[in-house]
A and B are shown apart, each in its own frame.
Chain A
Amino acid sequence: MMDKSTLWKFGTREIVYAAIGAALYGVLNWVFNNLTLPGTTLVSFRPPVAVPMFMGIVFGPLVGLFSGFFGNVIGDLLSGFGFFWAWDVGNGLLGLIPGLLPYVGVMEIKTGRDYTFAAIAAVVASFVGIAFPALIADPFILRNIDFAGAVSTEWLPASVTDAVNGAILTPILLYAWNAYRARSGR
């Protein structure tokens, strides 16, 4: 159970789960980028985005931030794409923002209401997290693109995809995690 006093702790436990989260996100990104899925040529398929969101909710915002940021770095390293630092920050925010659920009174995910809040947090994280690389870094820091172009070609496609993936898969992961904990007595 998360509580606000320990929310920002980054001890041994958080280090290990941050590492696991980053490796998971990186490997799953690499796999889903490279698997050919018939009939999906025009659809960007990003189910692994639920992993940093899940890690943030269960283990805290710093674990979510690390899982998203370095997970994206690892995924790009495995794919041989190089670094896109602004998108690494955006993916870090995808993990950090859901970890802030205790600030809206959701300490533990148990009831239907909690699962709904988790799905809403995933949607909010998608739009806010992707806003950094798409609406701030690319148009104003790296100066690659106009703001209107950034909205239509980067922010909307990426954040809608991540929001749909996160809203569906994050509650499923949380439900499976609760079932595992109940069975194992953790």
Chain B
Amino acid sequence: MFATFKYLPGQSFIHRLDPRTKLIAAALVMFSTIVVDDVRVLLALFGLTLVYYGLARLPWRSTWKAWAVVAFFAVVIIGLINTTLFGRPLSYITTAHPLFSFPPVTLPYFGTVQRTVTWEIAFMGLVRMLRPLAIMAMILPFTFTTNPYLYGVAFRRFGLSDGVAFALDLALRYVPTIARDFFITVDAQRARGYELEAKGAGLVNMIRRSAPLIVPVTINAIAGGEEVVEAMELRAFGIGRRTWSEAESLRLRGADYLVIGLSALVLVVFILLRNFTSYGPYWFPASWFE
């Protein structure tokens, strides 16, 4: 089993954007989802983010797992569990159109309670479901179209220190080595009769049984670190500013400014919609249910 990043090289419009552009655009869209509570506006935003996602031309077989995770969170956790059991309409909503009710339940100290889910609560739940979906449509292109070995220099160009950016770069380069050491350890422990999959032992024993895998890999990885420290210090690491050889390849171009500009425009429009029109605050079509 090889530890490989999910980066998919390509030449799509999104591939050719600077990594900083993709992160900034994702952040601006994230803020946009928070500003409004109107399901119509969020559906439109979700449509725009799907267009952005489509421009990356990512194959479904590579991204279905990520979509499954966020869909589970959006539909099951937010939609079914949270909205149904805990959801409440915003305080200024005065209407209540019942959707369904749970059977009455008698609780100690609370007496008999009956939870009724209204259409107003359901619309609020739909708004909340759309937020992580829209954000994921912006994040996945970053993950799959950005070479991980550009993360360090991208974060450096964001203003992070040389040390932090270099540590991130070094961490990514350590990944294949540590993955290889882990699977060697698994084989070595199995040869000694170790069984991770032994059944019927309870959670605490299962955690303790993971120690023969985690402990040797961790100690071995750290033990090798001291030599790397000495090698870096012998090469005067940290004495002066570091030169990043990939820095020249990271330059904002016209397409980057276009994407950042459009994302910022969306945020500004949403703020204006929220504060000056009826299209930003929570919307509920009461007339549909009369």
Contact = CB atoms under 8 A, between A and B. Distances in A.
Nearest to B233: A12
21 contacts: A16-B228, A19-B169, A19-B170, A19-B174, A20-B171, A20-B178, A20-B221, A27-B3, A31-B179, A37-B197, A37-B206, A40-B206, A47-B211, A82-B140, A142-B135, A143-B34, A144-B78, A146-B82, A146-B86, A149-B87, A168-B207
B214 A83 contact: no
B15 interface: no
Nearest to A39: B199
Contacts of A164: 203-204, 207
- Chain B's interface size range is 35 or more
Nearest to B208: A168
Contacts of B5: 77-78
A145 B77 contact: yes
A74 B218 contact: no
Interface in B150-188: 163-164, 166-172, 174-175, 177-179, 182
Contacts of B34: 141-143
A104 interface: no
Nearest to A76: B143
B200 interface: yes
A169 B167 contact: no
Contacts, number: 198
B143 A169 contact: no
A148 to B, nearest CB: 4
A145 B78 contact: yes
A16 B232 CA distance: 9
A12 B238 contact: yes
Interface stretch (B63-71, B111-119, B246-254, B264-272): B63-71
A166 B175 CA distance: 23
A77 B217 CA distance: 21
Given A81-B69, A143-B128, A11 B171 contact: no
Given A16-B228, A19-B168, A168-B207, 18 more contacts: A11-B238, A12-B237, A16-B167, A16-B170, A19-B170, A20-B174, A20-B178, A24-B178, A24-B218, A37-B197, A51-B218, A66-B164, A66-B167, A77-B6, A81-B69, A141-B34, A144-B128, A173-B215
Interface in B15-43: 26, 30, 33-34
Main secondary structure of the interface of B (DSSP, over half): helix
A16 B223 CA distance: 11
A155 interface: no
Interface stretch (A112-120, A123-131, A176-184): A176-184
A24 B168 CA distance: 13
Interface of B: 1, 3-6, 26, 30, 33-34, 62-63, 65-66, 69-70, 77-78, 81-82, 85-88, 128, 131-132, 135-136, 139-140, 142-144, 148, 163-164, 166-172, 174-175, 177-179, 182, 196-197, 199-200, 203-204, 206-208, 210-211, 214-215, 217-219, 221-223, 225-226, 228-229, 232-233, 237-238
Most buried by B among A12, A31, A82: A82
A19 B178 contact: no
A27 B176 CA distance: 9
Q: Which 5 A-B pairs have the closest CB atoms?
A: A149-B82, A23-B174, A19-B170, A22-B171, A80-B6
B139 A23 contact: no
Interface in A1-56: 10-20, 22-24, 26-28, 30-32, 34-35, 37-40, 43, 45, 47-48, 50-51, 54
Contacts of B169: 19
A74 B172 contact: yes
B65 A47 contact: no
Contacts of B63: 80
A13 B132 CA distance: 38
A63 to B, nearest CB: 9
Contacts of B166: 15
B171 A26 contact: yes
Contacts of B218: 24, 51, 54, 173, 176
B214 A173 contact: yes
